[in-house]
């Protein structure tokens, strides 16, 4: 069975919001720890040492991935409670928690 429209919309919106929040959190954390703004554009990146750019990429990638997974899990729980169907599980009914 294809994903329902409500699940598609809910998951897309939650991922957009969580991605923006995660990006802001990483930028604020980077500034607090290093005292410099997060390397984002080409001009900024060239003023950072390679190790700093690699560290930023690893940290931001890990935070974004973790945020994405946690957000999708929570959105799936909410959707399952409301619709009675677990997203991505075909016709499987939601399990009671």
Q: Per residue in 16-55, pLDDT tens?
A: 999 999 999 999 999 999 999 998 877 777 888 999 989 9
- HEC sequence for 31-63: HHHHCCCCCCCHHHHCCCCHHHHHHHHHHHHHH
Most confident of 3-7, 68-72, 88-92, 93-97: 68-72
Q: pTM for the whole thing?
A: 0.71
pLDDT average, residue stretch 49-71: 92
Ordered by start, the domain boundaries in the chain are 11-37+48-81
């Amino acid at each position: 069975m294809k994903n329902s429209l409500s699940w598609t919309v809910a998951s897309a919106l939650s991922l957009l919001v969580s991605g923006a929040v995660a990006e802001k959190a990483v930028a604020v954390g980077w500034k607090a720890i290093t005292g410099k703004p997060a390397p984002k554009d080409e001009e900024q990146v060239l003023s950072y040492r390679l190790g700093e750019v690699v560290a930023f990429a690893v940290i931001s990638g890990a935070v974004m991935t973790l945020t994405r997974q946690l957000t999708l899990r929570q959105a799936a729980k909410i959707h399952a409670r409301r619709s009675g169907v677990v997203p991505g599980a075909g016709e499987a009914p939601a399990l009671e928690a």
